[in-house]
Structure 1
């Protein structure tokens, strides 16, 4: 593959499309980015979803390839070191995400998108085409037909690139064209819950109204609310609950009664008048999970990000997964000289991980809204963290592997399954002796006698020191 001769049309100038354009430009390709919207850098308000983003290792690893990771971590993102759980009675307690200084970063979607567009402007081989709506695509040629939405006479624009990359979101027009092909598998699931955005303004003296370095969670079984800090010292609140519940709250009285019963401590933070106004004026928006395969059509078209694997937002991995797509694609292009072979490999390699992450995102909703209040869940967290401290390279908790590593998503699930079965064996053996089984299991039961000699006393001493903390 001679990269410099390849002309690429990227459909969608969102986070993944803008990032992928930079990756391709670094390879010397000619890149044209088309987006139905105007340039968001020139817009006062950007339409569409705006759930705050929790950026972690996978997205930061991708941003580091174009020199933006340090800026996001050190100059813009707000580190969140733990979940801050808000109980029904107003009491709070933290659940750390990882060890020591491990954290995720609260970032604004619009800001990250804008710095990616600005980065793209630094490449002479990237050209942006805003206000271009995709009308029709022949992905075999390939050929794209756009209409200029800023043109009074609906001017049509026909382009004939070598490669089309669809990064145009969960309702992707490029994926819709792929669905016309035989043997294209597609499924979508709308969960019975929706979301609504509210906000907590800064205090009168301009400070954060809650501790800033946390992702705040109000878990309430069938519904929950979360809050992420913003650079202007406000918090973006997102309320998740069944659509039927949203539909039942239609006036000031019912809204206030609901919040007094379930999120009473949030009312003075939001402000009663602001709460009622925002709730009654903002729509409750749906949440969809999408899986499909394959992601490419030969050497002429491929989809990435939400166009390939839209997921519900409960693991904070939608953006991270989409940006990691760019790293995986880059690796496939490096390893395969033929473009068609590279795209085939990308599709086959990435699909099981993307589908695994879609499943994990659904699982984490149950954890966030319900399990975080259960003693069994908290004990398991402590147990996992303890074993991770003891055996950092062998026992990696699920959340740690997903958020603080680039372990393949489907391998994170396999690792969790192994841990669950191991813990079952530990407690069937009973007591502290069972912890030795973890170490032996992590070594695949090899060298048992020597391991017992080398590790036994040290392990026992550490366990005894932590017993007082645990219980």
Structure 2
């Protein structure tokens, strides 16, 4: 097992969000970092539209940026989203706040802007070199030898490096090499739904044509449309549909069918999307996958982080937040250990159970967003939950608030959420108005179930670091 030498040159594969931020954390610890990115430099070449589900950055991601001094600038380009704006077919809007008050919100941020911002700041450390159009074709994970294709010249070279960090996304070339080894496993679960990016342009003078401070959802049972605000007054819309079936990407095979579908299901959105037909047929249909792998490291030579280790579907807005938190936790592990293998082992042990938990919550949240947000019973329970959050601060905690507005480990957030949901369901039984909830019974249930659990796991309610 080799020692961690602060001056050695390490390699990061993938200059996406996590790879760019990780390279800054490594540079801060004194390492020289070579980043290999298979795409062109997005700051100089257009990579093409159509594949960006906007980012919803929240507490975990902002904390990670704060550690490298970038939080304030990122927030200057972000738009607070204080809740969900539900668009039923009838057109009568309903707003569902995310937190107990307006101080608790998530933030819409352009993926392309943030990625370019992180790359520029990584290079600005003077310790990070990013090579673009560099495709990793093979990696000997035990010797740290990479076979890299330089796409502009068509030549292949060998790169030897003491440590390889794989941050190259859900289709990771590094993970593909790691999972060949005995004892390494990967499962991939593809969602039966795909997604298509559409755009609501800004109004005159950059005006927002819908509520600016909300994540807009058109829930329709087995499918949905969402929209997130952008700095320039536009909204990035994402249509989620099954790949096949009566209402699906397969069935909407002509411009007239697409327009008729929107007229019937999203009548208030249709006039806001002037390029609907063009974008529907020219933008790619994205796929979504949950990746669970183990272990994420090969001794002290290779480590997977972010989507390469644990890709999740986008419905809790936590993919990037989780990947950024990986950087925070790994940095702390590197500070505690003198050997790479020990740091990697602790990192995997601490993050694996939490990555699995947020992956499961993300799939559950998909069902909630598309099926339940328009359901009267669900809306009542959300109102009861909000009443309990305000009546019992510090004692009643919701899963959503722990995931989005704290850095409590995801696994504990998952378990607390199950207890909290059970309490809300019991208290909502037979009610038609949240104002009629029995607060005395609520206090009893919270003190019988939630408070003892939080007390028992009080160590875990320390911050993820």
Q: TM-score, normalised by structure 2?
A: 0.91
Deviation at 1:427, TM superposition (A): 7.0
Does the CA contact (< 8 Å) of 2:50 and 2:198 recur in 1? Answer: no
Q: Contact (CA 8 Å) 1:185, 1:292: kept in 2 or not? A: yes
Q: What's 1:253 paired with?
A: 256
1:44-443 aligned at under 5 Å gives the runs 44-46=46-48, 49-73=51-75, 75-98=76-99, 99-151=101-153, 154-244=154-244, 245-271=248-274, 274-423=275-424, 431-441=438-448
Q: Is the 8 A contact 2:53 2:197 kept in 1?
A: yes
Q: Alpha-carbon deviation of 1:254?
A: 1.1
C-alpha change, 1:418 and 1:169, in structure 2 (3 Å) is: same
In 2, the alpha carbon distance for the partners of 1:398 and 1:119 equals 34
Aligned CA distance change for structure 1 residues 84 and 426 (closer, same or farther; 3 Å)? closer
Secondary structure class of the residue paired with 1:313: coil
Q: How many angstroms does 1:440 deviate by?
A: 2.5
Instruction: Check conservation: 1:3, 1:27, Cα contact below 8 A.
Output: no
C-alpha distance in structure 1 between counterparts of 2:111 and 2:160, whole Å: 31
CA contact (8 A) 1:142 1:164 kept: yes
C-alpha distance in 2 between matches for 1:206 and 1:114: 23
Would the aligned equivalents of 1:85 and 1:92 in 2 still touch at CA under 8 Å? yes
When residues 213 and 411 of structure 1 are mapped into structure 2, their CA distance, relative to the original with a 3 A threshold, is: same
Distance 1:406 1:444, change over 3 A: closer
SS at structure 2 position matched to 1:5: coil
Give the conservation status (yes or no) of the 8 Å contact 1:426–1:438. no
Q: How has the CA–CA distance of structure 1 residues 46 and 33 changed in structure 2, closer, same or farther, with 3 Å as cutoff?
A: farther
Once the two structures are superposed, what CA deviation does each residue of 1:40-70 show, in whole Å capped at 9, x if it has no partner?
1111235772111111111111011111111
Question: CA offset at residue 398 of structure 1?
Answer: 0.9
Name the CA distance, whole Å, in 1 between partners of 2:51 and 2:267.
26
Q: 1:257 to 1:157 in 2, by over 3 A?
A: same
CA distance in 2, matches of 1:436, 1:253: 56
Question: Within 2, Cα distance between the matches of 1:48 and 1:282?
Answer: 5
Which digits, 9 at most, give the CA deviation of each residue in 1:256-303, with x for residues without a partner? 2111110011111113xx212222222322211111111100100000
Residues 1:230 and 1:47: Cα distance change in structure 2 (over 3 Å): closer
Structure 2 CA distance, aligned partners of 1:340 and 1:116?
27
Q: CA deviation at 1:394?
A: 2.2
1:227-282 C-alpha deviation (Å, 9 max, x unpaired): 011112111110001112111111122112111110011111113xx212222222
Structure 2: distance between partners of 1:426 and 1:349? 35
CA distance in 1, matches of 2:313, 2:422: 28
Q: Distance in 2 between matches of 1:66 and 1:158?
A: 32
TM-aligned CA deviation for residue 428 of structure 1: 8.7
How far apart are residue 205 of structure 1 and its match?
A: 4.3
Task: Return 5+ residue gaps in structure 2 as ranges.
Answer: 431-436, 454-465
TM-score (norm 1): 0.90
Change (3 A) 1:16 1:212: same
Q: Could you say if the C-alpha distance between residues 48 and 85 of structure 1 is closer, same or farther in structure 2, counting changes exceeding 3 Å?
A: closer
Between Structure 1 and Structure 2, whose CA radius of gyration is higher? 1
Going from structure 1 to structure 2, the CA distance change for 1:333 and 1:208 (only over 3 Å counts) comes to same
SS for the counterpart of 2:199 is strand
Contact in 1 for aligned 2:40/2:47 (Cα 8 Å): no
Report the number of matched residues: 441
Counterpart CA distance in 1 for 2:377 and 2:11 is 51
After TM superposition, give the deviation of residue 442 of structure 1 in Å.
6.0
Deviation at 1:6, TM superposition (A): 3.0
Work out whether residues 50 and 283 of structure 2, in 8 Å CA contact, stay in contact via their aligned partners in 1. Answer: no
Per-residue CA deviation, residues 80-130 of structure 1 (Å, 9 max, x unaligned), is 111111011111111011122221111111110111111112212211111
Q: Offset of 1:425 from its aligned partner?
A: 6.2
